[in-house]
A and B are shown apart, each in its own frame.
Chain A
Amino acid sequence: MSWWNPTDVGRATRALLVDLGRGARLFVRLLASLGTTLQRGRLIVDQVHFLGNHSLAIITVSGLFVGFVLGLQGYYTLQRYGSAEALGLLVALSLVRELGPVVTALLFAGRAGTSLTAEIGLMKAGEQLAAMEMMAVDPVQRVLAPRFWGGVIAMPLLAAVFSAVGIVGGYLVGVPLIGIDAGGFWSQMQGGVDVFKDVGNGIVKSFVFGLTVSFVALLQGYTCQPTPEGVSRATTRTVVIASLAVLALDFVLTAMMFSV
């Protein structure tokens, strides 16, 4: 009953290091593939359509409801201090700086990341990737890179849509429903939201999250066990790892950007 057998620990550590090295190598290859992928625009367009357009519905609806809730909860807190007009500022700042990029990335991992992993994993299980290699076609260049850059392009756009719709949602709850003054709502928002510090950094965040989620999804698909069970496990791991990575990176990015 010695589950902590030193040999096992050593083997696990080595396996971990091998995985890490393989992941880093794939990441560098994906980044380096930017030039060749951009020349094959059609592949990227198809992936942006698959990852972006099809996620638009879930992003819009979630953004609207997050905006609604922020409006109600923010009003509940702010009216205690008699500053209900600051609701616009509160809704806009929380969406643009934090909730927009993070919630979009989590939804993107669930909606698009899983499908990426399953697709690549099934391609691997069906030996399609191996067949490509036999024909001297690099599957990383032909299959993985367009999906990666498609996700990286789609993610900031989705996050911006999420934030914009959320602000409209906050407006709908705050102004017509609760009866806050519309002028105060917008002018406080415009007075307090900085284009570069808040909106710009939010976009940078969502770009980084796009890189993270797409990469994790592709890595899990590319390195999964080529069996039905392996693909299902890889899909689960995509959601778990991508979500954790997004939340951890969010803390690091926030600490770096907003420390001033």
Chain B
Amino acid sequence: MQASKHDLWVGLFVMVGAAAVLFLALKAGNLLSLNFEDSYEVTARFDNIGGLKKGAAVKSAGVVVGRVAAIGFDATTYQASVQLDVEKRFTFPKDSSAKILTAGLLGEQYIGIEPGAEEKLLAAGDRITSTQSAVVLENLISQFLFNQASQAGSDEGAKK
């Protein structure tokens, strides 16, 4: 291939372009937080997963220990079955519990794992049995309203 007098400048241009892609991937994107570490899979069943999405974080004590790998519907128990990919270096007791929590008031939903006390550890393919569903705002509000109404009713009854 013949040399061109523009080689240097074109090389510089390509370098600048590559640097821009790298900047977008590393500084603006989440390439650094993607993990390529070995993980093991556990499942958990929830009555209601709210707005949980595939790829959501699995946290314990606020630290990300894994990701939600898949979400399915179990037609026999009518529950949502969620597969969690937990990094191999983090192990949890077998009686740990999983909760669906919300980051902030309007933030994304994630799964929080609270470690139990048993000596046996969760292994690949195990199921987390004690779970707590997502808080659905509508249910909370209706509970609150019913409470208010029944209280008001009993107050009036006491007056009479």
A residues adjacent to B (C-beta < 8 A): 41-42, 45-46, 48-49, 52-53, 56, 92, 96, 154, 156-158, 160-161, 163-165, 167, 186, 189-191, 193-195, 198-199, 202-203
Q: A190-B29, A195-B29 are in contact. List 14 more A-B contacts (CB 8 A).
A: A45-B6, A48-B10, A52-B10, A53-B13, A56-B13, A156-B17, A157-B17, A157-B20, A160-B20, A163-B28, A190-B28, A194-B30, A195-B30, A199-B28
What chain B residues lie within 8 Å of A52 (beta carbons)?
Answer: 10, 13, 17
Instruction: Give the CA-CA distance A41 to B6 in the complex, in Å.
Output: 12
**Segment from B31-39, B77-85, B135-143 that makes contact with A:** B31-39
Indicate whether A49 sits within 8 Å of B6 (C-beta atoms), given known contacts A161-B16, A164-B24. Answer: yes
Q: With an 8 A cutoff between CB atoms, is B21 at the interface?
A: yes
**Do the beta carbons of A49 and B10 come within 8 Å of each other?**
yes
CB distance from B98 to the nearest CB of A (A): 22
Interface residue ranges, B against A (CB under 8 Å) = 1-4, 6-7, 9-10, 12-14, 16-21, 23-25, 27-34
Contact B9 A53 (CB under 8 A): yes
> Closest 7 interchain pairs by CB?
A157-B17, A49-B6, A164-B20, A160-B20, A195-B29, A41-B1, A161-B20
B30 — nearest CB in chain A belongs to which residue? A190
User: Quick check: A46 and B4 within 8 Å, CB to CB?
Assistant: yes
Q: Is the CB of A191 within 8 A of B28?
A: no
- A–B complex contacts, Cβ < 8 Å, 25 sampled: A41-B1, A42-B1, A45-B7, A48-B13, A52-B17, A53-B9, A96-B24, A156-B17, A157-B14, A157-B17, A160-B17, A160-B21, A163-B20, A163-B24, A163-B28, A164-B23, A164-B24, A164-B28, A167-B23, A167-B27, A189-B27, A194-B30, A195-B25, A199-B21, A202-B24
**In the bound complex, do residue A199 and residue B13 qualify as a contact, i.e. CB atoms below 8 Å apart?**
no
Residues of chain A contacted by B34 (CB below 8 angstroms): 195
* CB-based contact B16/A157 at 8 Å: yes
Q: How far is the CB of B83 from chain A (nearest CB, A)?
A: 19
Residue of A53, A158, A198 with highest tally of chain B CB at under 10 A: A53
B interface SS class: helix
Identify B29's interface contact among A48, A154, A199, CB under 8 A.
A199
User: In the complex, how many angstroms separate the beta carbon of B30 from the nearest chain A beta carbon?
Assistant: 5
Residues of B within 8 A of A165 (CB): 20
Q: Decide if A190 touches B20 in the complex (CB within 8 Å).
A: no
- Whether the pair A157, B24 counts as a contact (CB closer than 8 A) is no
Q: A52-B13, A156-B17 are in contact. Are A96 and B28 (CB under 8 A)?
A: yes
A198 to B13, CA, bound (A): 23
Please give me the residue from chain A that is nearest to B108 by CB atom. A191
Shortest Cβ distance from A158 into B: residue? B17
**Chain A residues with CB under 8 A of B10:** 45, 48-49, 52-53
Task: Look across to chain B and name the residue whose beta carbon is closest to the beta carbon of A203.
Answer: B21
Residues of B within 8 A of A189 (CB): 27-28
B20 engages A46 (CB within 8 Å): no
Closest CB of chain A to B42's CB: distance in Å?
24
Chain B nearest Cβ from A205, distance in angstroms: 13
Closest A residue to B1 by beta carbon equals A41
Query: Which chain B residue shows the least CB distance to A43?
Result: B4
**CB nearest neighbor in B for A39:** B1
Cβ-neighbour of A42 out of B3, B28, B29, B31 (below 8 A): B3
**Most chain A beta-carbon neighbours within 10 Å: one of B2, B18, B20, B33:** B20
Within the assembled complex, what's the spacing in Å between the Cα atoms of A140 and B9? 26
- Within the complex, what minimum Cβ distance (angstroms) separates A17 from chain B? 39
- State the Cβ distance, A33 to closest chain B Cβ, in Å: 17
A165 to B27, CA, bound (A): 12
